[in-house]
Structure 1
Amino acid sequence: MERGLSDYERTLAALFARTGTTSKFGLERTAALLSLLDSPHNRIETIHVAGTNGKGSVVATIYALLRAKGLRVGRYTSPHLVDFSERIVVDDVQIAADQVLAFLSRWESDTERLGATFFEITTALAFDHFATAGVDIAIIETGLGGRLDSTNVVTPLVAGVTSISIDHSEYLGDTIQEIAAEKAGIFKRGVPAVIGPMSAEAGEVMVRIAGDVAASSIVQAVDRYTPLGVTVSTSGTDFDVVYDGTATRVRSGLTGVEQATNSCIALAMLRAAGPAYQTSVSEAAVTLPAVRLRGRFERVGNLIFDVAHNPASMQALARTLESVDPPRPLVAVLGVLKDKDWRAMIKILAGVADHIILTAPSSAPLNRSWDVREAV
């Protein structure tokens, strides 16, 4: 057992070494690797989710709603918080270490020959695992952007973009319109395109690209399912969902004003996916209170953990803190990567926290490690 863990750790270390400086954009390597695996992504049904913020919460909500229907459901998300296996889940069971080790060892020479990156290899592993596990459907979260993201090899039942704001500018562009165009790249011919609430500039790009690729329908999520009367507490988020003229009061187990919107995006995507996946609002009201997602205003004793990593998500965190009003003094511990807009994030935090402690995450790649001395 000890030797197995050591082999696993060494193999993962080699995989992680393929991040950062080895990042390359394009679908060619992912497609080539999947072809060697007999195209597992074409043997499963998928739902594809992109967006600057909110996509993790939407994926978690869709996952819970489909599990409640008795389906066998896979979930592919990134990054992980503690262990690599969190990224690939089937029916609440994370991929096992021996399964990861067997895959990486079996395909090592081919991934080397192809020059495949960390995320390309991980994406292929996820699709292979889902196909082998016989999932009824898998919810796939993009890693970065959309158009050239490794996950964009799927032809899903529905594709959705949750939100657009400035992030990853060095890869996706410096303007809202450029970033929107990259994320709208997951829209495909004959596939419903679901769009979350966003600025007019971003929305116009979304609708244009969805039309250009001949999406089967273009759905504005909160026009179909409208969240109203949102209240936030430490136990979750309560709100009305207005659908077809009828308002139903529901609660999400996720805390934050934006979680009402995220729940409505999830419902809109499932309706667009087809009758086998649609969930009524009354059915959702039973399931949503149990939705959980680590690192999204996650409370552990008197601590709150949140993965806010750009100004837009930090602003959402600040609004939630104001709504929940935790005991004072409120001390914020902030660790970011150097390529994030940490100045704006600190300014937002300063408006709600009594004290701020800055730290450089030890897990950061060397080329993205933040020198906190720049901020003091």
Structure 2
Amino acid sequence: MTYQETLDFLYAQLPMFQREGKSAFKKDLSNTIALCEALDHPENAFKSVHVAGTNGKGSSSHILSAVLQSAGYKVGLYTSPHLKSFTERVKINGQPIAEDKVVEFVGGIKMHIEEIQPSFFELTVAMAFDHFRNEKVDIAIIEVGLGGRLDSTNVISPEVSLITNIGMDHMDMLGNTLELIAGEKAGIIKADTPVVVSQKQEETTPVFLEKSSQEKAPITFAEEVYQWNASNIMKSNQIFLEDVVLEAKGNYQKHNALGVLSIIDALNQKGDFFISKEAIKEGFKNLSALSGLEGRWQTLQTAPLMITDVGHNEDGWRFVLDQISTLKFNKLWMVLGVVQEKDLPNMLSKLPVEAYYFYCKPNVPRGLDASVLGEEAEKIGLKGEVISDVNEAIQAAKEKASEEDLIFIGGSTFVVAEIENL
């Protein structure tokens, strides 16, 4: 098969949550275990860090990868979903897996695919593990897809686990309270394995403390160890790093960075790794070039200022709106598209009424019809128009905006993924 034929096979034959939603999600590790057995257990062949959370797990994974690369290590990175190319999901030192490696893997395991009938995500997890083993990475950063306890990635035995912000998302699958959602995320906490929690939240802290106690897993709340003070990072009220430049510009990224610092502490304490302060600063400063991170408070142009962000749930939107409030501009234009299962009344009620909206539809089966989004927005007094195609909506916003205005594009990872020339 060619690369495109291989992708067509994956998309056609295997259910994919990002495109189809809940019907593609399997709360069971049996398929992943079967695939790993068929591949002679690649998940046991490399050291790893496991990363779960509602918001920030992708950014944290990329930041950690960049720092470890700066320290001289060969670093595998598995994240999802991808923005532009399937190969973005599996990287080594920021370089996506080669297309011919994807073809080779799928062709070599096709008999097992037909027998096991895995989901799209289960197969890509197995592909990442196999690739990292074959390429002999020093360490791999493995981002959870959904939840944690029964996520396909939860077959690894990591050096340390990281849990980022917990928010209300995927409630139909993970539970309708922060405590229940945290319980699913806490499923990545392993016996005698350190765990770092980026943010201490009132509702979720008892969940993580209880699980870590059960597993005898040392737990660290990063915000109790590290703090930002202007451009300096403090540790135990002493300056730890001076003049820090974090390339990821969203204010919410500081929470992610503090979690990464505590992960680095845990790795250094284990003795198999040495990550210097210089490597930390270099990784923070050169994040995108080293890891390939995109779509996080990313500036696409100036005059008018145009920014995009993949934030797509309640907490993600709060971070975005808080960030917008720090900017100076004349008028706000928002290109907005979402997927079907979102709590529209709750989400829309938090959006600024003074903005003008262009409602679009992400081009995936889960994408919510733009006219439905527009109708719901109109009910609560938001002003805008329906332009279903993402890039046509962006062009319309650019034509209406003046040089002193702000255009924001978001609502879904899939809207960001469709932006031309991202």
TM over 0.5: yes
Task: Note the residue ranges of structure 2 that are not aligned, 5 or more in a row.
Answer: 379-422
Query: Deviations along 1:59-105, whole A, 9 cap, x unmatched?
Result: 11100100001111010000111111111001121112221122122
**Is structure 2 residue 102 aligned with structure 1 residue 108?**
no
**1:39-118 equivalent positions in 2, closer than 5 A:** 39-118=41-120
The residue aligned with 1:233 is none
Write the mapping of 1:33-44 to structure 2, written as runs, cut at 5 A. 33-44=35-46
1:255 equivalent among 244, 249, 253 = 249
Is 1:277 equivalent to 2:273 in the alignment? Answer: yes
Which of the residues 285, 290, 306 maps onto 2:286? Answer: 290
Deviation at 1:369, TM superposition (A): 6.1
Of 91-100 and 34-43, deviating more is 91-100
Contact 2:68 2:283 in 1 (8 A): no
Aligned letter for 1:103? F
Quote how far apart the aligned CAs of 1:244 are: 3.7
Pair 346,31 (structure 1): closer, same or farther in 2 beyond 3 Å: same
**CA–CA separation in structure 1 for the residues paired with 2:141 and 2:194:** 15
After the TM superposition, which parts of structure 1 deviate over 3 Å for at least 4 consecutive aligned residues? 15-20, 275-283, 368-371, 373-376
1:14 & 1:104 partners in 2: Cα distance?
14
Q: 1:266 to 1:189 in 2, by over 3 A?
A: same
Quote the Cα distance in structure 1 between the aligned partners of 2:150 and 2:117. 16
**Deviation sequence 1:95-149 (CA, Å, 0-9, x none):** 1222112212222231232221111111001100111111111000000010000
RMSD between superposed Cα atoms in Å: 2.0
User: Which residue is equivalent to 1:232?
Assistant: none
Map of 1:1-376 to 2, 5 A cutoff?
A: 4-15=2-13, 17-19=15-17, 20=20, 21-215=23-217, 217-229=218-230, 239-247=231-239, 248-249=241-242, 250-273=244-267, 274-292=270-288, 293-301=293-301, 302-325=305-328, 327-350=329-352, 354-365=355-366, 371-372=372-373, 373-376=375-378
The answer (yes or no) to whether the contact 1:271–1:278 under 8 Å persists in 2 is no
Structure 2 contact 68–75 (Cα < 8 Å) conserved? yes
By how many angstroms is 1:281 displaced? 4.1
Instruction: Give the whole-Å Cα distance in 2 for the aligned partners of 1:258 and 1:195.
Output: 15
Q: Is the CA contact 1:160–1:194 (under 8 Å) kept in the aligned structure 2?
A: yes
Letter in 1 for 2:363: S
CA 1:310/1:202 → structure 2, altered by over 3 Å: closer, same or farther?
same
Could you tell me how far 1:32 is from its partner in structure 2? 0.9
Change (3 A) 1:347 1:278: farther
Q: How many percent of aligned residue pairs carry the same amino acid?
A: 34
Residues 237-296 of structure 1, C-alpha deviation per residue, up to 9 Å, x if partnerless? Answer: xx3211143223312000122211211100101211233435344542233111132110
> d(CA) in 2 for partners of 1:331 and 1:364?
26
Check the 8 A contact 2:71/2:274 in 1, yes or no: no
- CA displacement at 1:364 relative to structure 2: 3.7
Q: 1:331: Cα distance to partner?
A: 0.8
Alpha-carbon separation, structure 1, partners of 2:14 and 2:93: 26
- In structure 2, distance between residues paired with 1:115 and 1:369: 31
SS in 2 for 1:242: strand
**Judging changes above 3 Å, is the alpha-carbon distance between structure 1 residues 110 and 9 closer, same or farther for their aligned structure 2 residues?**
closer
Match of 1:362, SS?
A: coil
Question: How many residues of Structure 1 are paired with residues of Structure 2 in the alignment?
Answer: 361
Amino acid at match of 2:265: R
Q: For residues 307-356 of structure 1, give each alpha carbon's deviation from its aligned partner in whole angstroms, at most 9, with x where no partner exists.
A: 0110101110111122233x3322111111111233333333326x6212
1:64 alignment partner AA = A
Q: Structure 1 residues 125, 369: closer, same or farther in 2, change over 3 A?
A: farther
Q: State the SS of the aligned residue for 2:350.
A: helix
User: Relative to 1, partners in 2 of residues 1:364 and 1:324: Cα closer, same or farther, differing over 3 Å?
Assistant: farther
Please give the alpha-carbon distance, in whole angstroms, between the structure 2 residues aligned to 1:375 and 1:348. Answer: 11
Q: Is the 8 A contact 1:164 1:202 kept in 2?
A: yes
Distance in 1 (CA, whole Å) between partners of 2:167 and 2:225 is 22
Please state whether the residue corresponding to 1:104 is helix, strand or coil. helix
- Relative distance call for 1:115 and 1:178 in structure 2 (3 A) is same
Q: Secondary structure at the match of 1:363?
A: coil
**Whole-angstrom CA distance in 2 between matches of 1:337 and 1:312:** 16
Q: Secondary structure at the match of 1:349?
A: coil
Quote how far apart the aligned CAs of 1:17 are: 4.3
Q: Which runs of 5+ in 1 are unaligned?
A: 230-238
Q: 1:139 to 1:369 in 2, by over 3 A?
A: farther
1:37 shift after superposition: 0.3
Classify 1:129/1:354 alpha carbon distance in 2 versus 1 (closer, same or farther; 3 Å).
same
Q: What is the SS of the residue equivalent to 1:343?
A: helix
| Distance in structure 1 (CA, Å) of the matches to 2:127 and 2:80 | 13
2:147 & 2:280 partners in 1: Cα distance?
29
Cα offset for 1:5? 4.5
SS at match of 2:196: strand
**8 Å contact from structure 2 (residues 248, 287) kept in 1:** yes
Distance 1:41 1:334, change over 3 A: same
